[in-house]
Amino acid sequence: MTSSPPPDGPLAGLLVADFTRVLAGPYATMLLADLGAEVIKVESPTGDDTRAWSPPVRDGVSTYYLGINRNKRSIALDLSLAEDRTAARELARRADVVVENFKPGGLRRFGLDYATVSESNPAVVYASISGFGSGPAGAGLPGYDLIVQAMSGLMSLTGDPDGEPYRAGVAVFDVIAGLHATIGVVSAVHARQQTGVGQHVEVDLLSSALSGLANQTSAVVAGGVVPFRMGNSHPSLFPYETLPCSDGDLVITAGNNGQFRRLTEALGLPGLADDPRFARNEDRTAHRELLRPLLVDRLSTRGKQEWFAVLTAAGVPCGPINTVDQGVALATSLGLDPVVEVGPAGIPSVRNPITLSATPAGYRLPPPALDEHGPEIRAWLAAEESAGSTVPVPGGTP
């Protein structure tokens, strides 16, 4: 494991008021924090829901919470109390960026909605993340990732052709929406440098899902074709799926004619690449039921690791199906340094995947305890502001 020094980062000086919880919002604000932004996490007195999402835990703390809340400071505010509402509004007034994922309109009664905040802070970049948008028809729908996986169509594509629909093994659309929110915030901050004026950034899980479904939604809107479950097969490529070897499955992705020819040569079946039924990708896709048993017959003569070595040496993209710990080990063996240690206690965390040569991501603060920085943040908010929205929180960055 590696530990990075605390660089300023490309977003140094940016103050983010984080009114988010669970996954999409906290993931977005963590990415901003990794890149140097000062993020103040505003929590209810009972804390972010993910603090209680366990097992698994590390030192009694949910690993779910730990995975998406590093580099932040925590203050617990009860927005039903006038004093805490005042503190929250002052934080929003000073912030360069506000990020929230309440139900649409949910912060209006506290004077923390975009319209109200932008009156006192016209330069604010205010990002809202919802499940189904802020319009009348979607605002009241609950924005849970699993529901969006179901309603977007993803689950209709996931699972065996004759089996039940399945969700993805991770809250994929929460993560994609968090990424989209981060891109939106950074774009709006850049635009503000040109105009001096902020704006409202809106991201919803359903729109992120339809964008993230990529070729599958394109098939619908551009081709009038409704995709369906194909197990591990691909609708437009073959072979591009799991194929059985003598001791288990190997993923093989021969995505073009050259790769397919190398595959057939490595398997000892060079004539298949010239067979008119298999010469082009569209031919292979159309005749996949004829081609698959020919490939499987040869693959069944050796184990998956042996074929992995043979095919990789031949230039054929392929790989075994790993467990998550094996995936982390693979990244480590490739020199990708997937794990960083955060804070004095050295809490292991997954490295920010963005590599910047001049202003790298930093890992300054461990995920905070509930209201860990509340007293110093309250004192700062109560003090007279003297240097704009980027006044540092007392205590600075360790």
* Phi–psi pair at 95, nearest 5 degrees: -70, 145
**Distance between CA atoms of residues 371 and 398, nearest Å:** 18
With a CB cutoff of 8 Å and minimum separation 6, the contacts of 34 are 9, 70, 71, 352, 354, 361, 362, 363
Q: Buried (b) or exposed (e) across 350-379, using 16+ Cβ within 10 A?
A: ebbeeeeeeebbbbbbbbbebbbbbeebbe
H or E element, residue 129: strand 125-130
Q: Which two tokens stand for residue 347?
A: 């809490």
Q: Given phi > 0 = left and psi -120 to 50 = alpha, else beta, which region is 88?
A: alpha
Residue among 134, 139, 138, 126 at smallest CA distance from 201: 126
**Distance between CA atoms of residues 192 and 321, nearest Å:** 45
* Phi–psi pair at 145, nearest 5 degrees: -55, -45
From residue 50, alpha-carbon distances to 43, 124, 144, 156 in Å are 11, 28, 14, 28
**Distance between CA atoms of residues 203 and 182, nearest Å:** 10
The Cβ of residue 87 has, within 10 Å, a number of other Cβ atoms equal to 21
Q: Please give the positions annotated as active site.
A: 174
